[in-house]
């Protein structure tokens, strides 16, 4: 255990610090995303932006440290964690391509299809992203969500499936890793349902949109994690947010 933390303390420190930053900025804009009635009720109870931001900062830093450590341990067991020290061109190019496709994929479907059936989706584009929102998506979204969903959850699912169905195999099969990616992607999409419910209500079209968009990109991030390493899943996740928000700011 001592050797483990000696080896990965810098990585875990990075997860913790980014978790503090991402949680803080997520909390600053969290109240804005709630319906007006809920905002009034929370403010009446003494809950304001600062208390929400502090709570979320501590929470996300804990996720980064605890789930990060567990995820690295599990990832090493199933062969998903990679101790790369240098960025490779092929992997970086794959992450950047997914960033571009993902950024367009978060934007175009709403404009060309989903917005026709759910006008509330288009209404959200009327307000430009704030600085706290941008920082939150890049830090919490790109780093902490990847720690939770890919590093920890995908590795855990692969570990459990290997124990259940591949005890006689020394190495985890590709099939198990693919299934683990699918499961984590579906849960990643499902994790966005509460926010969608608050903003739009859970109509069949909203649920379909949530699973389609978040699920597909979750699969892409999981593929990057399996193929090249966690850092590239983080780069792609953050890149998707950057591209989509730039389109939002510059062209809408």
Average pLDDT over residues 223-248: 94
Give the pLDDT band of residue 40 (cuts 50, 70, 90).
confident
Whether the predicted model's global pTM rises above the 0.75 cut: yes
CA-angle at 138, arms to 54 and 63, nearest 5°: 50
pLDDT reading at 153 higher than 90: yes
- Pick from 65, 42, 28: which is nearest to 152 by CA? 65
- Residue-wise pLDDT for 168-187, tens only, equals 888 999 999 999 999 999 99
Give the pLDDT band of residue 21 (cuts 50, 70, 90).
very high
Residues contacting residue 199 through CB under 8 Å, at least 6 positions apart: 33, 120, 124
Angstrom distance (rounded) from CA 39 to CA 12: 34
Query: What pLDDT score does 233 carry?
Result: 97
């Amino acid at each position: 255990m001592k050797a483990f933390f000696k080896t990965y303390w810098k990585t875990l420190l990075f997860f913790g610090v980014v978790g503090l930053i991402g949680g803080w900025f997520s909390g600053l804009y969290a109240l804005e995303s709630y319906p007006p009635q809920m905002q009034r009720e929370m403010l009446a109870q003494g809950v304001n932006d600062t208390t929400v931001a502090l709570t979320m900062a501590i929470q996300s830093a804990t996720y980064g440290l605890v789930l990060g450590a567990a995820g690295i341990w599990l990832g090493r067991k199933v062969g998903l964690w990679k101790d790369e020290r240098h960025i490779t061109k092929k992997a970086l190019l794959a992450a950047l391509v997914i960033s571009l496709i993902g950024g367009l994929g978060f934007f175009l479907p709403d404009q060309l299809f989903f917005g026709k059936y759910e006008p509330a989706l288009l209404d959200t584009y009327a307000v430009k992203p704030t600085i706290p929102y941008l920082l939150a998506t890049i830090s919490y979204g790109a780093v902490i969500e990847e720690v939770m969903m890919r590093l920890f959850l995908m590795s855990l699912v692969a570990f459990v499936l290997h124990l259940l169905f591949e005890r006689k195999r020394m190495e985890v099969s590709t099939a198990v890793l693919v299934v683990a990616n699918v499961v984590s992607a579906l849960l990643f999409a499902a994790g966005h349902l509460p926010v969608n419910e608050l903003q739009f209500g859970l109509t069949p079209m909203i649920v379909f949109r949530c699973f389609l968009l978040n699920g597909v990109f979750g699969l892409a991030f999981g593929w990057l994690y399996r193929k090249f390493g966690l850092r590239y899943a983080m780069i792609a996740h953050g890149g998707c947010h950057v591209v989509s928000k730039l389109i939002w700011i510059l062209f809408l």
